[in-house]
Amino acid sequence: MRLATGLLLFGAVFWSKGLSVVVEDVDDPPFLRQPRQVSDGGPDNTTDSNTGFEAATASNIGTTPASMALVLQMLDNYDQRLRPDFRGGAVTVTFQLYILTMGSISESSMDYVVTVFLRQQWNDPRFVYTGFDGNLTLYDTVIDDVWLPDVFFVNEKAAGFASSTGTSRMMRIHPNGDVLYSTKKTALLACPMNFALYPMDSQECSIKIESFSHTTMDINLKWSEVPIVVNEAIRLPEFQITDVNSTRCDAVREVGTFSCLEGRFKMVRRMGYYIIQTYIPSILIVILSWLTFWISPEIAPARVALGITTVLTSTTFTAINRSTMPRFSYVRAIDIWLLACSFFIFAALVEFAAVHFLFKRHKKFGFSGRLRRLLGLEHPPPEGTEEVELKPSASTTSERLLLGGGHTQIRLENAEPKPAEVTGEEEKHHRTLEELKALYQKRARRIDLAARIVFPSVFCIFNLCYWGVFLPQYEG
């Protein structure tokens, strides 16, 4: 009765103002013809474009007034609880998605927000009418009394986004019983992502539509000729939509098989943001850590401060980059880059520690005789000579006792040897303190000189390998 009352009011408006009967263009293409007069009950009619979804229902459309008595008599016995052709075969519902907006793609929660016009078309023999060839557009309040397919978004995480206009549904009925139902939906959908190539990755998000209570024996969902239409005005700041495709995803459960449709959107991440915010700053920090190679080893505070600063900055870069991502276990492409940069920065700090240790070795430390000969600082003693290490006493720092050849000689390391006790043959087997100092400093500076060449060269080789492996996999 509600439906009949609504249509009765609908007929009164038709007779008085003629706003509810939509007369289509004869010259329009045979798909989804644009109406000349738009009903007040169709809020999204202005957005419906010529997308090949709704076929023409009359070859010769007239403009004569219709007999609403026959229509009301037909709808008076309409029962929305029964699907069309209840005792017949399955109802075929054709779907089309018009993607109005898409955004809020979150890597941490792996979801995105999409607003779509969900367009459905089916044939209901109970809506066949004669008397005029125009289409009927129903108001939003009347649509509740009409049978509708019970479909839902399978990968929906949250919904309930209210329309700002208050009405977001439209139904158009054709004389042959074809029903076009369009509704505006905004939903938060799940989008499983793989970040192995991040930030040179591409993600594929989907939207799944499935019948909730009717199996394939009652409802069969299928895509239209143009299944998915994307609004050309959509601009995603971080992604670029490169491909849209549609497929079926029928779900087989214990209670039966349910018809399901799936639309997929392939999105390639834009690299510009990460090059500016991550790659270039990390390269500059690595180069900054190399400046310590040009600072004298004697200026330890400057080299330590520079090394510690670059290490902490690299650690902060890694932490910030990880904070926006879920806690997964696999390694991403950007993790390899940041870990390599951290390694180069840490290696520069370790290089300074080794150089400073060698530069100050003659003052703070003493080498044993074996270590001296191993490093080439002293020649081995003559054959038949035995070396004995003595523990330092309170008055001496270090002593060595050389026994052999029928003579005994004691030499203090940190004291000047007596000329009378050192022969010309033995003078070749040890160096003075000044000679050791000059030798240590020379070797420390050689290490710095080698680091100036080795570090940049290895970093360049790493860049060639890194970009050579990951760039070919980037689809942007």
Bridge-based pairing of strands 91-106 and 219-230 is parallel
Task: Give the C-alpha separation, 117 to 273, whole Å.
Answer: 32
Could you tell me if 219 and 356 lie in one domain? no
Q: Give 300 or 380, the one with higher predicted confidence.
A: 300
What pLDDT, on the 0 to 100 scale, is given for residue 433? 66
Domain boundary among 270, 298, 328: 270
Q: What is the DSSP letter of 415?
A: S
H/E element, 465: helix 433-470
Q: Which residues contact 453 (CB under 8 A, 6 or more apart)?
A: none
Instruction: Report, as an integer, the average pLDDT of 52-60.
Output: 43
Instruction: Report, as an integer, the average pLDDT of 210-233.
Output: 92
Could you tell me if 210 and 184 lie in one domain? yes
What pLDDT, on the 0 to 100 scale, is given for residue 263? 94
**Which of 3-12, 133-142, 306-315, 375-384 is least confident?**
3-12
Domain boundary among 270, 297, 321: 270
Q: Give 273 or 77, the one with higher predicted confidence.
A: 273
On the 0-12 / 13-18 / 19+ scale of CB atoms within 10 A, 462 is: middle
Task: Give the C-alpha separation, 95 to 30, whole Å.
Answer: 18
Could you tell me if 221 and 295 lie in one domain? no
pLDDT beyond 90 at 462: yes
* N-term to C-term CA, the chain: 58
Q: Per-residue confidence at 87, pLDDT binned at 50, 70, 90?
A: confident
Sign of the four-CA dihedral 102, 103, 108, 109: negative
Percent pLDDT > 70 in the chain is 66
pLDDT beyond 50 at 7: no
Is position 417 within any domain? no
Bridge-based pairing of strands 169-173 and 135-138 is antiparallel
What pLDDT, on the 0 to 100 scale, is given for residue 298? 80
What pLDDT, on the 0 to 100 scale, is given for residue 416? 47
Instruction: Report, as an integer, the average pLDDT of 8-13.
Output: 44
Q: What is the pLDDT of residues 277-313, one digit of tens each?
A: 999 999 999 999 999 888 888 888 888 888 899 989 8
Joined together, the tokens standing for residue 267 give: 């999105």
**Which of 83-92, 242-251, 368-377 is least confident?**
368-377
Q: What is the CATH number of the domain that holds 219?
A: 2.70.170.10
Task: Give the C-alpha separation, 83 to 402, whole Å.
Answer: 110
pTM over 0.75: no
**Which of 302-306, 310-314, 381-385, 460-464 is least confident?**
381-385
Neighbouring CB atoms inside 10 A of 311's CB total 17
Could you tell me if 328 and 454 lie in one domain? yes
pLDDT beyond 60 at 221: yes
Instruction: Tell me which residue range forms the domain holding 356.
Output: 274-361+442-473
Task: Give the C-alpha separation, 298 to 356, whole Å.
Answer: 8
Neighbouring CB atoms inside 10 A of 396's CB total 14
pLDDT beyond 90 at 145: no
Q: Per-residue confidence at 138, pLDDT binned at 50, 70, 90?
A: confident
Task: Give the C-alpha separation, 254 to 102, whole Å.
Answer: 35
Q: What is the CATH number of the domain that holds 302?
A: 1.20.58.390
Q: What is the pLDDT of residues 204-214, one digit of tens each?
A: 999 999 999 88
Q: What is the pLDDT of residues 402-425, one digit of tens each?
A: 444 444 444 444 444 444 454 444
pLDDT beyond 80 at 197: yes
- CA nearest to 409, candidates 394, 423, 428: 423
What pLDDT, on the 0 to 100 scale, is given for residue 371? 60
**Which of 119-123, 384-388, 396-400 is least confident?**
396-400
Could you tell me if 195 and 230 lie in one domain? yes
On the 0-12 / 13-18 / 19+ scale of CB atoms within 10 A, 314 is: buried
Neighbouring CB atoms inside 10 A of 459's CB total 17
Q: Per-residue confidence at 267, pLDDT binned at 50, 70, 90?
A: very high
Domain boundary among 224, 245, 270: 270
Q: Per-residue confidence at 73, pLDDT binned at 50, 70, 90?
A: low
What pLDDT, on the 0 to 100 scale, is given for residue 380? 63
Q: Give 383 or 22, the one with higher predicted confidence.
A: 383
pLDDT beyond 80 at 260: yes
Share in percent of the chain as helix, strand, coil (round to 5): 35, 25, 40
Could you tell me if 165 and 250 lie in one domain? yes
What pLDDT, on the 0 to 100 scale, is given for residue 369? 59
Residues 217-250 as b or e (16 or more Cβ within 10 Å = b) = ebbbbebbebbbbebeeeeeeebebeeeebeeee
Average pLDDT over all residues of the chain: 75
pLDDT beyond 90 at 471: yes
Q: What angle do CA 100, 101, 106 make, to 5 degrees?
A: 150
**Which of 200-209, 329-338, 438-447 is least confident?**
438-447
H/E element, 114: strand 111-123
Could you tell me if 301 and 279 lie in one domain? yes
Bridge-based pairing of strands 111-123 and 219-230 is unpaired
Task: Give the C-alpha separation, 265 to 228, whole Å.
Answer: 10
Could you tell me if 208 and 264 lie in one domain? yes
